[in-house]
Amino acid sequence: MKPKTQKVLLYIFLVVVSIMIGFGAGFQKLIYTDQLARNMAAIHFGEMATRLIGLAEVLAVVGMWFFRFRTAAILALYPILFGAIAAHLGAGQPLQEVILSIVCIVLITILLFLHNWNGVIYLLTQKDKL
């Protein structure tokens, strides 16, 4: 992949993930609307836990925009997203409730590979040392 193509794809995925996780989920949890309170109560989360999860999501999204913190910020989203899947399924909710979290996991995995593309290619081409 050409460096320019890789960089364009990286920023496209950054924008999509930022909108989905930062604004779509994290910010909503921070402002804690009545509808969100009912949804979170259905999976046994109170206001404080919901706001902390929202803060973690927003901080991770902000961190993704800084090169130095990008890998750590992306990795921080994995336990949040897998926890969301476990919470929804553990509360007996249908699979449709976790589709968005699964899509986000796929997107941040692609984002992680795009960010570390040179390292991935380097590892894949080191036949003698593996």
Give the per-residue SS3 of the chain.
CCHHHHHHHHHHHHHHHHHHHHHHHHHHHHHCCHHHHHHHHHCCCCHHHHHHHHHHHHHHHHHHCCHHHHHHHHHHHHHHHHHHHHHHHHCCCCHHHHHHHHHHHHHHHHHHHHHCHHHHHHHHHCCCCC
* Tens digit of each residue's pLDDT (9 = 90 or more) over 51-101: 999 999 999 999 999 999 999 999 999 999 999 999 999 999 998 889 999
Q: Cβ distance 28 to 36 under 8 Å?
A: yes
**Considering only 1-15, 62-76, 89-103, 115-129, which range has the smallest mean pLDDT?**
115-129
CA–CA dist 27, 116 (Å, integer): 27
Q: Which residue range forms the structural domain that includes residue 100? A: 3-124
Supply 75's token pair. 């990795």
Structural domain contains residue 130: no
Domain count, the chain: 1
**Considering only 28-37, 44-53, 60-69, 114-123, which range has the smallest mean pLDDT?**
114-123
Structural domain contains residue 129: no
Structural domain contains residue 81: yes
CA–CA dist 1, 71 (Å, integer): 20
In this prediction the pTM is 0.87
Structural domain contains residue 100: yes
